[in-house]
Chain A
Amino acid sequence: MNVLRYFARSPAAMFGLVLLGCIIGFALFADVLYPKNPLGLAGRPLQWPDLTSRFLLGTDASGRDIAAQLVHGARTTLIMAGVSTVIAIAIGIVIGAIAGFYGGWVDNLLMRITEAFQTLPNFILLLVLVVVVGSTMTSVTLAIGVVSWPPVARLTRAEFLSLRSREFVQACRAIGLRNRWIIFREILPNALPPIIVYGSVVMALAILLESSLAFLELSDPNVASWGNLIGHGRKVLRSEWYVAAIPGGAILLTILAVNLVGQGLNDALNPRLRNR
Chain B
Amino acid sequence: MTTLAKIQDLSIALPKNADREFAVENLSVDIHKGEIVCVVGESGSGKSMTASALMGLLPDELTVTSGRIMLGDLNILQQSEQQMRRIRGPRIGMIFQEPMTALNPLRTAGDQIAEMFRAHTDLKPDQQKFRALDLLKEVGIPDPELAYRAYPHELSGGQRQRVMIAMALALEPEILIADEPTTALDVTVQAQILELIRTIQQRSGMGVLFITHDFSVVSEIADRVIVMQHGSIVESGNARDVLENPQHSYTKTLIAAVPGLIPPPPRDLSRQVVAEVSSLSKTYRTGGGVFGRARRVTHAVRDANFTLTEGATVGIVGESGSGKSTLARCIVRLQSSDAGQVMFGDVDFAALQGRSLRENRHLVQMIFQDPYGSLNPRRTVGDLVTQGLVARGMKYSDALAKGQELFALVGLDPTVMDRMPHQFSGGQRQRVGIARALALEPRLLIADEAVSALDVSVQAQVLDLLVDLRDRLSLSILFITHDLRVAAQVCDRIIIMQRGEIVEQGLTADVFANPSHPYTRSLLASVPGAA
Contact = CB atoms under 8 A, between A and B. Distances in A.
Nearest to A170: B334
Interface in B349-383: 357-359, 361-362, 365-366, 368-370, 373-379
Interface stretch (B97-105, B277-285, B384-392): B384-392
A190 B379 CA distance: 10
Interface stretch (A18-26, A143-151, A171-179, A227-235): A171-179
A243 to B, nearest CB: 50
Contacts, number: 62
The size class of the interface chain A forms with chain B is 10 to 19
Nearest to A174: B366
Q: Is the interface of A mostly helix, strand, loop or mixed?
A: helix
Given A166-B373, A176-B361, A171 B366 contact: yes
Nearest to B392: A176
Interface stretch (B3-11, B432-440, B455-463): B432-440
Contacts of A177: 387-388, 391
B388 to A, nearest CB: 3
Contacts of A190: 376-378
B49 to A, nearest CB: 18
Given A174-B334, A176-B391, A186-B376, A167 B370 contact: yes
A166 B374 CA distance: 7
Given A178-B358, A190-B376, A171 B392 contact: no
B136 interface: no
A170 B368 contact: yes
A167 B388 contact: no
A186 B391 CA distance: 13
Interface string A160-171: 000000111011
Interface in A166-210: 166-168, 170-178, 181, 186, 189-190
Contacts of B375: 168, 171
A12 B357 CA distance: 52
A272 B49 CA distance: 21
B293 to A, nearest CB: 22
Interface string B390-415: 01100000000000000000000000
Contacts of A166: 373
A171 B358 contact: no
B334 A173 contact: yes
B332 interface: yes
Given A166-B373, A167-B374, A174 B365 contact: yes
B177 to A, nearest CB: 27
A171 B391 CA distance: 14
Nearest to A173: B334
B391 A167 contact: no
Given A168-B376, A170-B334, A186-B376, A175 B370 contact: no
Contact of B373 (A167, A173, A174, A181): A167
Contacts of B373: 166-168
Contacts of A171: 366, 368, 374-375, 433, 436
A167 B358 contact: no
18 contacts: A167-B368, A167-B373, A168-B375, A170-B366, A170-B368, A171-B375, A171-B436, A174-B437, A175-B361, A176-B361, A176-B391, A177-B387, A177-B391, A178-B391, A181-B391, A189-B378, A190-B376, A190-B377
Given A171-B366, A175-B440, A177-B391, 10 more contacts: A168-B376, A168-B377, A174-B361, A174-B437, A175-B391, A175-B437, A175-B439, A176-B361, A176-B392, A176-B440
